[in-house]
Structure formats: C-alpha cells, structure tokens
Amino acid sequence: MAGPSNQVFDESGDSGSDFAPEKGEKGGIGDDEDAIGEEVAEDEFVPGESVSSKPPKRAPRGASKGKGKAKKATPSAILAPAASLPRTSRRQMHMLPTPSVHHRHRATPLFSRAGFVERLVSRPSLFGPINTTVTNAFTHNTQVTDRVNKAWGYNVGPGPLWQLTEDRRWFKEAITTGKDADCERSRRPRVYPDVPVKNGWKVIDKSEAAVYLPTANETMEDGTFKPPPPISCYFGPINSQTKRDMNMLDTLAMSEYLPESQACVFNAVKLPDPLLRIELDETSCWSFDWANSERVAIGTTNGIIAVYDFGKAIHSIVNPDSDTIINLRPSHYLAMHQSAIRALAWIQAPPYSASGDPSLDDDPTVIASGGYDGVECLLDIREGRGAIMNRTRDVINALTFSPFAAGPITMDHENTVKAYAASPSMLGRGHTLLEPLGPVWCVHASEYHPQLAVAAADGTCSTSNMLRSPRRGGSVVSQI
C-alpha cells in the first residue's frame, strides 16, 4: 500500500518563499526592488522560482545489531509540494500559469499600423487651433515601441504628455492610400454623409413635455405634478462665471455670457422617430458598444450578446419620411452570462488570417463583457463561444477598451480596477491600476494617451497612467 512521500528538505537551505529575506540582507526591500529588473520587465513572462533543488538528506542505513538500539534522529524537515501545484496562493485567472512576483506588465500592441501618424508641435490650448506634424508611429519597430511604452511609464502627473500623444484607434473605414492617408480625417472618415434626417421636429408645451421629464408624486393646485427643484448651474468664462438657477423647461441662450456662442441650453427635447430601431421581445437591451460605423454589440438582461450589422439598412434609406426599420435581425446571438450584461466593449483590432496578416477591411470579432454574475469574458464571435477571463464576487458595472493597454479595463474583487491583456502572449493576465474606496461606476480610456479616468461611488474621479509599472503587485500612482 502506497504511503506518504518521504521526500524532505533541510530548513537550513533556501525555503523558496517569496517573503523570506535574502542571505546577508539586514533590512527590508529598499532601492534594490526597483532594480529587480528592468531587464525582467522586458520579458513577457518569467516563470516562478522553483523549490530548493538541494538533494534530500537521508539517514545512513547501517546493519542493526539489536532491536532496542535507538534510531538516529533525522533533521527537522518540511514536505515538498507536488511539482504540478501552484507555488503561491495568488488569485488566478482560468487556465493561466502562476506569474512571477517579479513580473512587470508591459502592454503588447495588438495591431501594428503601417505609415505615419500626426503629433503635436506645441502645447495645445483649450478649444483652440492645434499644430501637428507627421512622424513615425509607435509601432514603427520594436525598439521604438519599447522606448515609447517605457517613456509613458515615467509619467506620474495628472494628465498625459502632449509630446507623445498619437491616435492609436483602428477603423476599417480608414483611407490607407492617397496623399493625406496619414491625416486624422483619413483615419476617421465620414461614412454616412448622404443619410437624411427624418422630419418631425416641433415645439411642445409643458403638458406634452411632462412625459419626458422627472416629476414628483405630489400634485399641485392645478392638478399637474410637482416639478423637481431647480438646478444651480454656472455659465460664462471660467474666471468669471455666473450662478443661475435652471427650472424645468427653462431655455438659455449661451450668447448672454459668450457673445460668439450660438449654443442653447434646453431641458426637454422630443426626438423624432429614428431611422432604425432594435427591439428584442424576450429581453431588454442593457449595454452596447460600437465596433465601427456598421457593427454594434448589445448586451441584454438575460445574458445574451447580440451583434447587428446595419450598414446596408442605413444606406438604403433615401426618403426622410420613410418608416422606421424595425425588422433587422442580428448576425450573432450568443449566450455568454447567467445574468444581465452590464458592460461590454469591442477589442478594437483587425482579425488576422491563418498566415498572420491583418484583415484591414474586416470588422473586429472579439468582445469583452462583464455582467451581474461577476464574470468577465472574452468572446470571439467567429467561434460562437467565449472564455472566462476572470471571476469575482462583485458586480461588473463598467468596462472599456484601451489601445494603449492593449486590452479591456474592468473591475476585480474589492473594487480594484485592472487592465487585462488581450495579446496572445499575455492573454488574460491582470494588472492592478486603481483601488477606489467604493464601487466603480464608470471607467473611460482615451485613444490618444494612456491616462484612465475612473468614477467611483465614494465621490471621487481619479486618473491614472495605465503604462506606469507597479512594484511587486502594487497599484500604480493615481491622481484624485
């Protein structure tokens, strides 16, 4: 009958623990921690340290001359864990190996765009004209990519570095040939210039607008519902603003404070009938995200992700008075969660062929989603099934995609905000960014810089640099 393993290790040797002090080291981890390795950081993954490789000491076997002779005491020992078990008790994603404690998350670009990009020549002014020049993109070569990512990581200020900002968003509609192919108007072209706007605008009175505005349950003397209290707003230039109470249905022309402005402030707007309406009989639409100008993903209250392609339907509208299109069917209808899908986002990268070439004329195919069941998934609509990226006991209220972090930004346990990698070499690994004191309600990432904005239930709006490398699993520097 097989018994327990007799393999032992001497405690005087290396224990293999992450928290054991190094030999000859008297203090804690100091400046040497920062020097653990910028070289280690360049590697995508460093295997964890193995247990001590010293051979086990066994008691010498000698000829026993008597039954009553005492056996030689063996040194105190500890059992060695099996080689297939994880060495640490860190929180794991599914089917991912245990990362090393020395690992530094480095964002790997999902798509290398050929050509040049526009950069700022001077510090931009608020709502003023900007000067740009055409330079190499951050994916020009691997050396440039590593240096730019490392340079972004040194920024600890509340805002981005304007010298390094560039547009990293990819659209399949982008114009890639011609004289101005590297300009922003070519990378983000207008795709529906000929679509008409439906007629039907009209002025409504208070009784008609009441159905579109919030009211109290109490009624007034004239039988109408009691309106909500006025909202105090500040209008005018930043240094000389004027406080004004806005009641329901009040209208204000901004030219009173800014003579050159033609804007107006309204409290009630009744929109005409839309060109296209998406309705599902068995569920409700709870979240959605645009892939580009023709494809949208919708998360529903029953855990279904529906993908719609309505480019042809919109281009078919010629008469502005035509009926609203309501019979559009989804191209994909996939069950992903066990409860409502609160947030989802497209992974903005082109699909790749079997030969490794990007298909720049095709739509993106990967969706990241999070629901009330605490599950965060990555779904490739070409396969029809998704993979669990992370699971937590909290509700996933927000999720966004960042081209700088090269993956989705969402929540983990205890209200932490994490960036998850979507590149094949680092798929699903998390990188802690922020730890607010309350549930996170909204996260947003820019397509021009790696600064992340996070709004939490504790009343804070925090910003953080997603490319700032943490030290031994800690969160990065943030500004509140």
Each domain of the chain, given as residue ranges in start order, spans: 93-201+273-480, 206-265
CB atoms within 10 A of CB 54: 11
pLDDT, mean of residues 193-207: 73
> Taking CA 390 as the corner, what is the angle to CA 385 and CA 386, rounded to the nearest 5 degrees?
5
φ, ψ of residue 378 to 5 degrees: the values are -115, 125
Please compute the mean of the pLDDT values over residues 418-430 and round it to a whole number: 80
What's CA 68's distance to the chain center, in Å?
Answer: 71
Average pLDDT, the chain: 75
The tens digit of pLDDT for each residue in 251-286 reads 888 888 888 888 888 766 666 678 888 888 889 999
145-198 pLDDT, tens digit per residue, is 788 878 887 777 777 888 888 888 888 888 777 777 778 778 787 788 777 777
DSSP label at residue 309 = E
Q: Topology of domain 93-201+273-480, per CATH?
A: Methylamine Dehydrogenase; Chain H (2.130.10)
Q: How far is CA 335 from the centre of its chain?
A: 22
- Say how many Å lie between the first and final Cα of the chain, rounded: 63
Which of the residue ranges 107-121, 231-245, 258-272, 298-312 has the most confident prediction, judged by mean pLDDT?
298-312
The pLDDT of residue 208: 75
